[in-house]
């Protein structure tokens, strides 16, 4: 499965059957109101025709009519001219009221159904996003994901109902008016219809252009959003290196790019409306000429003609709307196909169904190979067995693959060769949630969610009691610091924990891991960002966390792993040495000895000895 969104494609934009199949489940729950809404669009569209139609009797009977014409109504003889003169003004007001009520209903139903559909789309899309594996987040820019997530479902779902409604309304408007035309003169009606048909044709020719523009625009918006994100996350670097100018230039360039894309579409699409006007005006002129002839030769009444011309003029509005709707519908389909493209992404990390309930015996890497990108091996044939409650340290060169090795345990990524066994069972057989429930992970840079310190710790175990919380606060050596805060543990953190120091953040993360109390603990450079003093404090916190647990600890500073059971040296993706500190330090010219000497011996001695 290709996870890369960069080349925003919307391949299925013209595959209407696929799109309707996909959107249907979302329309289904609001079907009743959607249909009612579309049904209301019919009389709304037809109303224009009625206005045009009523002009004929008004002109023929009221304006031009003879007073002698009568009509028998419930036994009374009514003078038609007077009666119509009386009724028509009331009719117009009644009409406006009816139209108003229908319009209100229609607007309400459109917003209601549109938002409902859009909400369920967004909820499902969010679920999809949280279900995708690390790889998805590695290879896609946050900006593109964000912009596609925020704009497309909205466009796709809100427009679909709105545009369909408008479309139906226009179609029935056209039908109604054409019927009035037909009623008045079929020859003229045919001319009218042909002209309208010619006027709409260009709209159907531009869908490819719309798709291309919409996709290009999405990419630019994505880049812009990424730019925004980086301005936030990389703010310090930006300031330190005076990169503001570069960021500004980047943004300016993106804005210009977007302008060009929009204008290129306007250039292609913008002439359609004037052309339609032009074609329509020819139609109106032709019909008038012919109509004049018909009236002069007595083949058509003046009322008929007035009604006819009115419908012809009124016809222009739905025609234009129809053109607009068809364009919009294309945009909608493009957005929709992009949304369903996201839905079609499947997590590659599949859950098993065995429940993992603590570790009984061991964790084993068996001939494990791993690569992030095809044919770039990062872990090469790793064999390593770790006993229950053993603490093992991974050391080695930077970029050698230590973080990668431990990220395979909670299945952030799946091995590309070999297997990882927990108690002799391949971890792929375990239920993913239960597997991850058994592992606590403390990273070098620990993410804090918006909220209080308490909330951030409780994420480790939402069911923990206040007692548990106080205990881990003390164990993580956070109690002293927290007591200096005005709001204590209920202090609200800045975004990403910005208001905490690196060491404080790390201790919150350790508390989070402690309260989770998982049998397997992974510490990936959990103290590397600290100064010596805070490191000593955090180290004590870690010793507490590591008691009676199976622990993988990655440490840059070898002083922090003095009390581990065994040490594994990973060099360029290979396990090159494995043993206790004493064993490894005695390997002459060994990797571990070299690392150790670099950190603990004075520089001259190292240089002399190699």
Ligand X SMILES: Nc1ncnc2c1ncn2[C@@H]1O[C@H](COP(=O)(O)OP(=O)(O)O)[C@@H](O)[C@H]1O
Interface contacts to ligand X, rule CB under 6 A = 138, 372, 378, 396, 398-404
State the minimum distance, in angstroms, from the CB of residue 478 to ligand X: 27
User: Whose Cβ is closer to Mg ion: residue 176's or residue 410's?
Assistant: 410
Which of residues 478 and 523 has its CB atom nearest to Mg ion in the complex?
A: 523
| Nearest-approach distance from CB 528 to Mg ion, in angstroms | 9
Comparison of 394 and 510: residue with beta carbon closer to ligand X: 394
Nearest to 183 by CA among 84, 92, 301, 284: 301
**Which of the choices Mg ion, ligand X, none does residue 291 contact, using the CB cut-off of 5 to 8 A by kind?**
none
Cα separation, 414 vs 429, whole angstroms: 12
Q: According to the binding rule CB under 5 A, does residue 517 interact with Mg ion? A: no
Which C-beta is closer to ligand X: that of 398 or that of 608? Answer: 398
CB of residue 598 vs Mg ion: minimum separation in angstroms? 18
Which span (151-159, 402-410, 485-493, 599-607) binds Mg ion, by CB under 5 A? Answer: 402-410
Residue 372's binding partner, choosing from ligand X, Mg ion, none, with beta-carbon cut-off 5 to 8 A by kind?
ligand X
Task: Tell me which of ligand X, Mg ion, none is bound by residue 398, counting a contact when its beta carbon lies within the kind-specific cut-off of 5 to 8 angstroms.
Answer: ligand X
DSSP per-residue letters across 79-103: EHHHHHHHHHHHHHHHHHHHHHHHH
142 vs 403 by CB, closer to Mg ion:
403
Nearer to ligand X, 133 or 468 (CB): 133
309, 312, 326, 554 from 281: Cα distances, Å? 12, 10, 22, 78
Angle in degrees, CA 542, 531, 558, rounded to 5:
60
d(CA 271, CA 273): 6
| Rounded distance between C-alpha atoms, residue 16 and residue 18, angstroms | 5
Residue whose token pair is 């015996």: 361
Q: Name the residue nearer to ligand X (CB basis): 479 or 574.
A: 574
CA–CA separation, 148 and 218 (whole Å) = 7
Q: CB 525 → ligand X: shortest distance, Å?
A: 8
Greatest extent of the chain over all pairs of C-alpha atoms, in Å: 128
Please, are residues 461 and 515 in contact by the beta-carbon 8 Å criterion? Answer: yes
Q: Alpha helix locations (H) across 383-444?
A: 402-407, 432-437
Closest contact distance (angstroms) between CB of 113 and ligand X is: 42
* Min separation Cβ 567 and ligand X, Å: 14
CB of 5 to ligand X, least distance (A): 16
As beta bridge partners, residue 379 has 370
Q: Of 91 and 502, which CB lies nearer to Mg ion in the complex structure?
A: 502
Nearest CA to 142 out of 127, 129, 131 is that of 129
Q: Which residue is nearest to Mg ion (CB)?
A: 403
CB of 394 to ligand X, least distance (A): 8
Tell me which of Mg ion, ligand X, none is bound by residue 401, counting a contact when its beta carbon lies within the kind-specific cut-off of 5 to 8 angstroms.
Answer: ligand X
The 3-state DSSP composition of the chain as helix, strand, coil percent (nearest 5) reads 65, 10, 25
Q: Which stretch binds Mg ion (CB under 5 A): 128-136, 285-293, 351-359, 397-405?
A: 397-405
CB distance 472 to 511 below 8 Å: yes
Count of residues in contact with Mg ion, rule CB under 5 A: 1
Contact 438, 360 (CB under 8 A): no
Closest alpha carbon to 41 in 109, 89, 87: 109
DSSP 545: H
Q: CA-CA distance, 532 to 341, in Å (whole number)?
A: 50
C-alpha torsion angle, residues 517, 508, 447, 454 (rounded to 10): 90
CB of 156 to ligand X, least distance (A): 31
| Residue 603 C-beta: closest distance to ligand X, Å | 24
Q: Which of 99, 134, 403, 528 contacts Mg ion by CB under 5 A? A: 403
Q: Tell me the window of 67-75, 178-186, 334-342, 403-411 that interacts with Mg ion (CB under 5 A).
A: 403-411
Nearer Cβ to ligand X, position 294 or 395?
395
What tokens does 134 get? 């690390």
Cβ atoms of 200 and 319 closer than 8 Å: yes
CB of 403 to ligand X, least distance (A): 3
Task: Please say whether the beta carbons of 52 and 180 come within 8 A.
Answer: yes
Length reported for the chain: 610
C-alpha R_g of the chain: 37
Phi, psi of 400 (to 5 degrees): -75, -20
Q: How far is the CB of 226 from ligand X (least distance, A)?
A: 17
Measured from the Cβ of residue 185, the count of other Cβ atoms closer than 10 Å reads 20
Residue 117 contact partner, candidates Mg ion, ligand X, none, CB within 5 to 8 A by sort of partner? none
Residue (403 or 501) nearer to Mg ion, CB? 403
Nearest residue (CB) to Mg ion, 59 versus 382: 382
Question: Cβ 581 to ligand X, closest distance in Å?
Answer: 19
> How distant, in Å, are the alpha carbons of 267, 576, 596 from that of 585?
74, 14, 8
For residue 411, the partner it binds in ligand X, Mg ion, none, with Cβ less than 5 to 8 A by kind, is none
Q: How many CB atoms lie within 10 A of CB 484?
A: 7
Window of 2-10, 123-131, 400-408, 511-519 that interacts with Mg ion by CB under 5 A: 400-408
User: What does 65 interact with, of ligand X, Mg ion, none (CB < 5 to 8 A by kind)?
Assistant: none
Residue 153 interacts with which of ligand X, Mg ion, none, CB < 5 to 8 Å by class: none
Structure tokens belonging to residue 319: 């025609």
- Whichever of 378 and 510 has its CB closer to ligand X, that residue is 378
Closer Cβ to Mg ion, 13 or 378, answer by number: 378
404 binds, among ligand X, Mg ion, none (CB under 5 to 8 A by kind): ligand X
519: three-class secondary structure by DSSP: coil
Applying CB under 5 A, the residues found at the interface with Mg ion are: 403
């Amino acid at each position: 499965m290709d996870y890369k969104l960069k080349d925003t494609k919307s391949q299925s934009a013209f595959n209407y059957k696929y799109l309707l199949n996909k959107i249907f489940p979302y329309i289904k729950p609001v079907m009743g109101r959607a249909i009612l809404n579309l049904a209301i669009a019919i009389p709304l569209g037809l109303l224009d025709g009625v206005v045009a139609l009523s002009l004929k009797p008004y002109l023929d009977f009221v304006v031009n009519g003879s007073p002698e014409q009568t009509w028998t109504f419930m036994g009374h003889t009514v003078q038609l001219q007077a009666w119509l003169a009386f009724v028509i003004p009331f009719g117009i007001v009644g009409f406006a009221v009816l139209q108003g009520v229908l319009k209100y209903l229609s607007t309400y139903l459109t917003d209601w159904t549109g938002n409902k559909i859009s909400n369920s789309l967004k909820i499902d899309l969010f679920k999809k996003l949280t279900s995708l594996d690390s790889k998805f987040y590695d290879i896609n820019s946050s900006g593109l994901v964000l912009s596609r997530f925020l704009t497309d479902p909205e466009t796709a779902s809100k427009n679909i109902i709105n545009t369909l409604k408008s479309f139906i309304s226009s179609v029935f408007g056209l039908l109604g008016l054409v019927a009035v035309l037909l009623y008045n003169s079929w020859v003229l009606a045919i001319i009218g219809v042909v002209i309208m048909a010619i006027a709409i044709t260009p709209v159907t020719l531009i869908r490819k252009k719309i798709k291309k523009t919409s996709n290009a625009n999405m990419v630019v918006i994505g880049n812009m959003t990424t730019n925004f994100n980086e301005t936030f996350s990389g703010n310090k670097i930006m300031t330190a290196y005076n990169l503001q100018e570069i960021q500004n230039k980047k943004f300016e360039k993106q804005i210009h790019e977007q302008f060009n894309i929009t204008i290129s579409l306007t250039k292609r699409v913008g002439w359609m409306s004037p052309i339609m006007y032009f074609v329509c005006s020819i139609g109106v002129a032709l019909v008038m000429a012919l109509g004049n002839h018909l009236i002069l030769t007595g083949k058509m009444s003046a009322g008929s003609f007035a009604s006819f011309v009115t419908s012809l003029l009124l016809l222009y509005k739905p025609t234009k709307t129809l053109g607009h709707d068809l364009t919009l519908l294309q945009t909608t389909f493009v957005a929709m196909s992009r949304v369903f493209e996201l839905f079609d992404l499947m997590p590659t990390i599949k859950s098993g169904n065995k429940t993992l309930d603590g570790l009984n015996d061991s964790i084993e890497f068996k001939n494990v190979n791993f690569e992030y990108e095809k044919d770039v091996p990062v872990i090469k044939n790793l064999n390593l067995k770790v006993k229950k409650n053993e603490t093992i340290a991974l050391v080695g060169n930077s970029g050698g693959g230590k973080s990668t090795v431990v990220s395979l345990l909670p299945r952030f990524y799946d091995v590309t060769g070999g297997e990882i066994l927990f108690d002799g069972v391949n971890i792929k057989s375990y239920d993913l949630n239960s597997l991850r429930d058994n592992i606590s992970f403390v990273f070098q840079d620990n993410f804090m969610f918006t909220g209080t310190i308490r909330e951030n710790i409780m994420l480790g175990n939402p069911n923990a009691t206040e007692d548990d919380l106080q205990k881990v606060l003390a164990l993580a050596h956070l109690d002293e610091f927290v007591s200096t805060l005005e709001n204590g543990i209920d202090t609200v953190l800045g975004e990403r924990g910005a208001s905490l120091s690196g060491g404080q953040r790390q201790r919150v993360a350790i508390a989070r891991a402690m309260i989770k109390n998982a049998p397997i603990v992974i510490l990936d450079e959990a103290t590397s960002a600290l100064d010596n003093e805070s490191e000593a404090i955090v180290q004590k916190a870690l010793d507490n966390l590591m008691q009676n647990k199976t622990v993988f600890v990655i440490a840059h500073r070898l002083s922090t792993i003095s009390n581990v059971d065994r040490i594994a040296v990973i060099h360029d993706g290979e396990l090159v040495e494995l043993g206790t500190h004493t064993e490894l330090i005695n390997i002459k010219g060994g990797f571990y000895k070299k690392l150790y000497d670099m950190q603990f011996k004075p520089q001259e001695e190292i240089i002399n000895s190699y």
